[in-house]
Amino acid sequence: MALISSNSANGNQDWRQIFSGHTRFLLAESNRGVMRVITTVLRSIGFTKFAKAWTGTEAWEMVQRKPISFVVADWDLEEMSGLALLRVMRTDEKYRKIPFIIMSSRLTKSQVVKAGEAGVNGIIVMPPTIKAFEGQFEHISTMLNDPEVRKADEYLSKADQFLADKQYDKAMIAYRKVLQVYQPAEVYYNIGYIKAAQEKYGEAIVAFRKATEINATYAKAFKGMGLVYQKMGMTDKAHEAMQRAAEIYISQDMVDDAESLLLQVARTNPDSANVYNSLGILYRRQGKYREALAQYRSALKVSPDDENIYFNIGQVFILMKDFDQAKKAFHQALKIHPSFAEAKNMITSLDRGLVV
């Protein structure tokens, strides 16, 4: 979706015909005072259905669980920023067309460009007011009814069907027509997929890279890049891209995808401490503490002087309530890196009985 310009006012359909009182909003805002203001403003306009999230992670979970028809999110959300939430939604077929307004108390030109590239529909500079929201609803309805955009969406639907049917030449023609109107990351990903299937690996890498430039959290594009690098025999680049994809999957709690990728990298690159460390983090998050320890120990075999691995081991032992072993791990981290502040703090907390 294209960034909505405040000068777009050539639509002739009132926005209330598109966004009725039945529109279900997801409001994602970490500041409770601002959340109250947003809710009050939207109620005064006539909206009554709201889901509320206080962090970006919680917002993403709600998008997947509830029937959301419009998202309003703060740029500076905790855990996952509003921009990151937008990027995640725009790379998922089920949520890519949900209108999204991002809010911020301060905006740079660079931020506006990033939001536009990620597919935002509108931007509101704080404080949120009735006039600001009504203006954005009008702009968004105008864009949704823009014949050129609607035509591009039709081409996108056709292209996706051509791709599913493996009619790659027809899909490419349709995707290029979409790119003449706006440039979603998923289109570049699909072009990369087609080029890879046609064994045009250089062109596939260019397309995947463009997708990740538009959306830095597009795990599928990094994975696609890694697989293509693998086919090209560029093992180091393949592992780097797939590792990045796995890290994104972990951050999005897509544990099965992350585990599958990391195990694949570990099989082909057993000398990578980063892969084992990432697997350790993944298993720790799942509560699989013994599996996590096994991965961290594998990482130490490759990189025995990495203080961060010992620190991670200490964290696992804390979760297992084995505080003596935790202290040993933190002391080992300090032995390698004497100014490791986090390890010092953990030892102090353990000595004072502040960790339970």
CATH for 287-356 is 1.25.40.10
Q: Percent of the chain, pLDDT > 90?
A: 50
How deeply is 24 buried, as exposed, middle or buried, from its count of CB atoms within 10 A (0-12, 13-18, 19+)? middle
Q: What is the model's pLDDT at position 12?
A: 43
Task: Report strand pairing: 122-125 vs 100-104.
Answer: parallel
Domain ranges of the chain: 15-145, 146-182, 191-269, 287-356
For residues 269 and 208, give the distance between their C-alpha atoms in angstroms, rounded to a whole number: 23
How remote is the C-alpha of 132 from its chain's centroid? 27
* One fold for 15-145 and 191-269: no
Q: What is the model's pLDDT at position 21?
A: 67
The pTM of the full predicted model, rounded to 2 decimals, is 0.67
For residue range 26-67, what is the model confidence (pLDDT) as tens digits? 999 999 999 999 999 999 988 989 999 999 989 999 999 888
Over range 125-138, report the average pLDDT: 90
Top CATH class of 15-145 equals: alpha beta
Tokens of 175: 């995707």
Dihedral sign computed on CA atoms, order 53, 58, 64, 70: positive
Tokens of 54: 């206080």
- Which candidate, 142, 200, 144, 197, places its Cα nearest to that of 166? 197
Q: Which CATH superfamily is domain 191-269 in?
A: Tetratricopeptide repeat domain (1.25.40.10)
Is a pLDDT exceeding 70 seen at residue 250?
A: yes
Over range 86-95, report the average pLDDT: 86
List the Cα angle 343/245/177 in 5-degree steps: 145
